[in-house]
Structure 1
Amino acid sequence: MLNLSDTESRILRVACDVFAREGFRNADVQVIADLAGVGKGTVYRHFGNKEQLFLAASKHAVEEVAAHIWKDVIGDADPDDVLANIGTTNMLRKIAASYASYYQRKPGVVELMIQERAEFRQSVFPTHLMHRAEHRGGLERLFQRGMERGELRDFETGPVADAFADMLYGSVVNGCLDGGHQHLPERVACAVEIFINGLACSPIHEE
């Protein structure tokens, strides 16, 4: 997580809202400063320029999602204790539900991810993909523990972890883009049940 001062956190929260609403090109740093209750020079002193402010806001939003999920699912408990109490599939459901609830409350974060790709595709690797790569191991370990506990059939954890993350991301992005962010929990819950239970009665092999 970013090690931020109270002033930096406040600036980034406001910046996320303004960039999501106005877009990178139309957003005014002076407006961000005014809404954050600081001088424009303070914004530049902490974040350098408008581009760096936008990228910091995007990173802050992605890390806030992760913190939100951890607080919802794990809290102050030991992750292994939580897993022992609720099981692997229920932990996956809780992770997905928390992910959906964050974007239901803050659908504008999806706009930041889309803008980042549109504005900086030649110079910046997408923040959400970088964050996912850095934390992929935790999700792989969860699937591995599920196999060890006999709750999941054997599979290669990497591709399945990617598929689970892709499913969550796609459900949320499409849900927000079609204006249905208020229904994200239901949309994501449906996708998770299909993911966990599968569709085929038995393995299907294409000839």
Structure 2
Amino acid sequence: MKPKEAPKFTEKQAEILETAYQVFAKEGFRNTDVQVIADLAGVGKGTVYRHFGNKEELFLATAKYCLTKAGQYIEQQVLQEDDLETLRDHVGALEILRRAAVAYAKYYQNNPLTIEILIQERAEFRESVFPTHLMWRAEARERMDELFKDAIDKKLFRNVDPKRATDAFADLLYGSVVNGCLGGGKSQLVVRVENAVDIFLHGLVRHDAPSSE
């Protein structure tokens, strides 16, 4: 199965969005002046509006741009020139999950301002916009469901609903990254996620633990 095609941005749009990413993350949506973004990007304010309509649409395009970059980075790190089916045959679902978790953490460790964008999106557009990170998760989840199903079918994991496993894994990654960034641990996201995933995959309860009965 192939992933859904990522949104396409022209070179000029990408230049504007890279600048908008920095300004929105540091100044906040309400305090950002589009003229400042235009000046820093080396274009006219009208050019920004011609590509993105208004300040709100520019911000939402910035959020989508951030997660598009994240998705592309994670996919490249995980697949490494293979397709998912080939990779699954070569290294197995468990290794793919580990690679995905580490790549996810590395992206946000290198691009922590992305978290600021996602938090602002939730704060400013709570009533009008479906969160971009949830939209991105929904588009990626079919492949994750397949990975968990494969691991369950091969008796690597206990028999649980693959969709529940996907939700738990995604929640673990997102929560680890957000809490790490907000808690001042931006430089340690990879270690934080590796620890969380190790516990997720192997559990806390010992197989020889005494019964509570």
TM-score using structure 1 length: 0.94
**Partners in 2 of 1:122 and 1:205 — Cα distance?**
48
**Partners in 1 of 2:211 and 2:61 — Cα distance?**
46
Mapping for residues 21-100 of structure 1, pairs under 5 Å: 21-100=26-105
> How much does 1:206 deviate?
9.7
Structure 1 residues 36-66: Cα deviation after superposition (integer angstroms, max 9, x where no partner):
2211111000000000000010011112111
**Partners in 1 of 2:142 and 2:206 — Cα distance?**
30
SS at structure 2 position matched to 1:137: helix
Pick aligned residue for 1:14 from 11, 15, 19: 19
Structure 2 regions of 5+ residues with no counterpart? 1-5
> How much does 1:125 deviate?
1.2
**Partners in 1 of 2:100 and 2:125 — Cα distance?**
30
TM-score using structure 2 length: 0.92
> How much does 1:134 deviate?
2.1
Structure 1 regions of 5+ residues with no counterpart? none
User: What is the RMSD of the two structures over their aligned residues, measured on CA atoms?
Assistant: 1.8
Pick aligned residue for 2:181 from 170, 176, 179: 176
Give the counterpart letter for 1:94 in structure 2.
Answer: R
**Partners in 1 of 2:90 and 2:39 — Cα distance?**
47
State the partner residue of 1:156. Answer: 161
Using the TM superposition, name which of 93-102 and 33-42 deviates more.
33-42
1:147 aligns with 2:152: yes
> How much does 1:205 deviate?
10
**Partners in 1 of 2:67 and 2:13 — Cα distance?**
16
Give the counterpart letter for 1:194 in structure 2.
Answer: I
- The count of corresponding residues between Structure 1 and Structure 2 is 207
Identity among equivalent pairs (%): 50
Give the counterpart letter for 2:126 in structure 1.
Answer: R
